[in-house]
Amino acid sequence: MAEGMDNALKVLSSVLRPLAYWYEQEGIEEIAVNHPGSVWLRYVGRQREFPWEEQKDPKLTREYLIDLLHIIANTRNQPFEPTTGVPVVFSDLPGGGYRFTGIAGPNVLYNSDDLNGGVALAVRLLHPGAGLGFADFDLRKGERLRKVNRLMNVEDPDDPYARLELAIRRGEDILISGGTGTGKTTFLNAMIKLLDNQERIVTLEDVQELEVPQPNHVHLLMSRVSHSSEGVFSYKDVFNLITRFTPDVIIGGEVSKYNANAFFELSQTGHKNFFATIHAGNPEEAYRAFAGRILEAAPKLDYEQTLTSLRNSFRVVQINRSGNLRSVTAIT
């Protein structure tokens, strides 16, 4: 059995070579493939204005990437069936020190006309900062701690437009609230355009509506299912997948009873912005609707505590409609 495993690892190592060319380079902390034919590189220990850099690689074809996921899953004895079964693979890689995360099939969207879906993956060096010290984290004896986000000290302006723009630049979580036909998703797409073009963005929807112009992005689709059993791709799997994809920004679609708990947990993972939409008539209704849907999936949570957490975490943009007139009526 040991000999068989050794042979399987040798095969896997051989198949990994086109991808390993990138993640084994000196100074690489992480790589991400969002789409066949290109790879994004994230460097460690370098003071870079933009940490991600894209490189083209025609060897990383869709066929190669999906075959790679199958081989990793088989080697690690994991279920993997991108069309009708479990579409994700979580694994370490031969040689040690690398964490692999991948997804393929209809849950990854490149083109709404492509029913077969796509493939996306990330490989992270598990100990990229092994040679770093306290000073590399801006911790030095006798010095004050560095303020990473100085915009947090800026007072909210009275002007609503400026207040929203500042909230986006600060990296705040924002919930867009409104009734049917108020243009919530249209407004959300306008907000996405205000994000920095260098941000790494992961979107999660049940129907593809979001438009992301930033090049380093992954579109994920998730059907509205609330159960999790063997062979079913659940929101718990999505949570693990997205956090391992190292996003700067996560953008959800409409909050529902199926995704509310996952959305809230994703908003608490330490990245920058989290955006989503919800059906409600005013900001208070939006908070209460969000809390209610979280408790449908997690009934043991305390409602009032959940409500308080949402108020502390999310800013609400309220949109109301009268006939053909659509207006932002509140920004909390």
- Listed as ranges, residues in the chain with pLDDT below 70 are 1-5, 45-49, 111-113, 128-131, 224-232
Which pLDDT value is given to residue 5?
Answer: 59
Which pLDDT value is given to residue 131?
Answer: 65
In order, the DSSP letters of 27-71 are: TEEEEEESSTTEEEEEESS---SS-EEEEE-TT--HHHHHHHHHH
The per-residue pLDDT for range 132-150, each reduced to its tens digit, is: 788 878 888 888 888 777 7
Which pLDDT value is given to residue 133?
Answer: 80
Which pLDDT value is given to residue 77?
Answer: 93
Which pLDDT value is given to residue 95?
Answer: 79
Which pLDDT value is given to residue 226?
Answer: 39
The per-residue pLDDT for range 158-182, each reduced to its tens digit, is: 999 999 999 999 999 999 999 999 9
Which pLDDT value is given to residue 203?
Answer: 97
Which pLDDT value is given to residue 112?
Answer: 60
Which pLDDT value is given to residue 58?
Answer: 97
Residue type, 165: E
Q: Identify any residues that bridge with 326 across adjacent strands, giving them in sequence order.
A: 321
* Residue 109 DSSP code: -
The per-residue pLDDT for range 22-48, each reduced to its tens digit, is: 999 988 999 999 999 999 999 876 555
Which pLDDT value is given to residue 165?
Answer: 96
**Cα gap 228→222, rounded to integer Å:** 13
**What's the CATH architecture for 2-125?**
2-Layer Sandwich (3.30)
Q: Identify any residues that bridge with 330 across adjacent strands, giving them in sequence order.
A: 318
**Cα gap 173→168, rounded to integer Å:** 8
**Per-domain residue ranges of the chain:** 2-125, 150-331
Which pLDDT value is given to residue 143?
Answer: 85
Q: Which fold has domain 150-331?
A: Rossmann fold (3.40.50)
